Amino acid sequence: MMKLSVLTILSLMSILSQPPLSHSIRCNPQDKQVLLKIKQAFNNAYHFASWNPDTDCCYWYIVKCDRKTNRIIDLNVITANISGPIPDAVADLPFLESLTFHKIANLTGTLPRALTKLTHLKSLTISWTNISGPIPSYVSQFKNLTSLDLSFNDLSGPIPASLAQLRGLTGLMLDRNKLTGSIPESFGELPASLQYLDLSHNQLSGSIPKGWGGLNFTTLQLQRNRIEGDASALFGRNKSIQNADLSRNMLEFDLSKVEFPDSLRYLDLNHNRIFGALPAGLAGDTLTFLNVSYNRLCGRIPAGGVLQQMDYSSYFHNKCLCGAPLPDCKSSLQ
């Protein structure tokens, strides 16, 4: 009697603690085989400990299955102690919509061509790794991509002009690599959906694409490159730019005539060759940060908005800027 009830309880417990019965296993067997190949390619690293072949892969860590089709749609490898190149097997998850490798110092090699098989990809993030080589032009084959983040790697060579063919992009982050050459002219026709563009901390040269006058970025980060010429087309009364960091380039234009939109919150222009005076429009209510130091500006700092609240270091090392927070203007010149 006693024995029986203990057994009953035990068997009940084992039924309750079992993974879903075989007929309710969601995991697609092909996807499971591919995931196990990926795990193996990374030497069965601890990061993949939950990828136990005896369990339903839809319940494994760092992957996600689609609710209806049960195919793997998301692979998200972050701060993992794994090493080696991105395995080609990743490209055999044919329904993948989001692929992330982030903060993996020992991830090396180039971007595998096999990835082009991932036609459903909406988001591709390979950042803070030691991936090297060029940005392959085939990245433009991911027609449904809305976000491409290849920042903080060891990528070199030019930015492929074909990236402008990604018509659904809302964010493009290629910052902190060793990219060279100029921003492709094709970037003058980036999709209107593109809100966030970060090309900062590279070795880009040449001028700003002509078409950028017609685009509406919300955030544009170009700092620490060697970009030259006129950037005034980025601004204008009817633009929607909110954050612009163009610092540490070789930009050279007259700031006096630039009209800044009300949307502008953050403007960093330090270390360029910008001349003229600060326009009165900068003294509006919406700007919260300005740095125009290390340029060739002259004249009185307009009064109002945040301009007098900024530290003097926002203005120092110019030709002859004056007035608060810098010393008074001396002569009638200003």
Ligand X SMILES: *[C@@H]1O[C@H](CO)[C@@H](O)[C@H](O)[C@H]1NC(C)=O
Site of interaction with ligand X (CB under 6 A):
81, 83, 105-106, 119-120, 128-130, 144, 152, 192, 214-216, 236-238, 240, 270, 291, 293-294, 310-311, 313-314
Can you tell me the distance from the alpha carbon of 329 to that of 334, in angstroms, rounded to the nearest whole number? Answer: 6
- When the beta carbons of 241 and 298 are compared against ligand X, the nearer one is 241
Which residue has tokens 């990245």? 139
CB of 191 to ligand X, least distance (A): 9
CB of 45 to ligand X, least distance (A): 6
Closer Cβ to ligand X, 180 or 195, answer by number: 195
Q: How far is the CB of 108 from ligand X (least distance, A)?
A: 8
Nearest-5° Cα angle at 139, 142 to 37: 80
Q: Which one, 127 or 182, has the nearer CB to ligand X?
A: 127
For the CB of residue 228, give the shortest distance to ligand X in the complex, in Å.
19
- Residue 129 host element (H or E): strand 123-129
User: What are the helix and strand counts (H, E) for the chain?
Assistant: 2, 21
Token pair 């990236």 is found at 163
Nearer to ligand X, 25 or 233 (CB): 233
198 forms beta bridges with 173, 221
CB of 269 or CB of 333, closer to ligand X: 269
**Nearest distance from C-beta of residue 90 to ligand X, angstroms:** 17
Closer by beta carbon to ligand X, 3 or else 237: 237
Q: What's the closest the beta carbon of residue 260 comes to ligand X, in angstroms?
A: 12
Measure the CA dihedral 255/258/262/264, to 10°. -50
Find the residue with minimal CB distance to ligand X: 105
Q: Which residues contact 292 (CB under 8 A, 6 or more apart)?
A: 255, 267, 269, 270, 274, 278, 314, 315, 318, 321
